[in-house]
Amino acid sequence: MTLLQLLVQALLVVALLYLALWIRSLAAKRVTVIDPFWGLGFPIMGFALLTQLDHAGPRTWLTLGMVTTWALRYASHIWFRSWGHDEASLYYPYAEQRAKHGANFWWISLVSIFAPQALGHVVVGLPLLIVLHDPGPALGGLDWLGFGLWFVGASCEATADLQLMRFKAEPTNAGKVLDRGLWRYSRHPNYFGDALAFWGVGVVALSSPHGAWGLIGPAFLTLTLTAIAGVRMVESRAKIAQKPAYADYVARTSAFIPWPPKSS
């Protein structure tokens, strides 16, 4: 199987997955059923494709292990966070689109939400797909460097998510800004950790043939988190204007890469 054929098969796998999720969202009347599968989609795609291949090496299992471990932690966090909450309180852009498009939202959601995330799986998952296609030589220094980056990134994301969840669970913190722990050094340490984890996967893939192309995946994810959705979506001008404490936090704290805060 050529790499192009593998990419086409990956598109088919995620297309079927997200078509099923879209149908489920229509029955549940909530688009947030998609959220845990941003994580789970990567191992689902990887293991589904692995059944079509006649080879797998140590790098294959290392990469699948990294992606699966990250995905299970991410999905469990999303499920736990979502328990008992409605769509509007979880992710307001979904509710805004539903209100805007009304009766047409059922099919617009397929085009504007489910299809882009399905395509995103293939783009961000390029390092995994490249390793699946040809694992390459024995494990070496680049693999352990990539694993180290992945471990630091995944740990950073998990720690930041836990810190934020505990902060929000405390009633006395209502209306306050979390500026302790990892959040003292970055306004979005969870996004940073997410990106770093996938850069780690990309570095592991460098030892496989065509591995450099895999860096498109983490580069696209980083761009999405910093400029397209992620930071940009969370930090709307209205939110900053309505919360002076948050505006001060923005002024002194790095947006993405953890860095010592500026003096107040």
- Straight-line distance from the first to the last Cα atom of the chain, in angstroms, rounded to the nearest whole number: 58
Average pLDDT over residues 18-25: 96
Q: Which amino acid is at 35?
A: D
- What 8-state DSSP symbol labels residue 33? G
Angle 8-72-11 from CA coordinates, rounded to 5°? 10
The H or E element containing residue 187 is none
Domain residue spans in the chain? Answer: 3-252
- What 8-state DSSP symbol labels residue 253? S
Q: How many CB atoms are located within 10 Å of the residue 39 CB?
A: 21
What tens digit of pLDDT does each residue of 65-90 get?
999 999 999 999 999 887 766 665 55
Reading the block at residue 169, the tokens are 């669970």
SS3 235: coil
Q: What residues have CB less than 8 Å from 186, skipping those under 6 apart?
A: 192, 253, 254, 255, 256, 257, 258, 259
What tens digit of pLDDT does each residue of 209-262 get?
999 999 999 999 999 999 988 888 777 754 665 677 888 899 999 999 999 998
- What 8-state DSSP symbol labels residue 226? I
Rounded-to-integer distance, Cα 124 and Cα 220, Å: 7
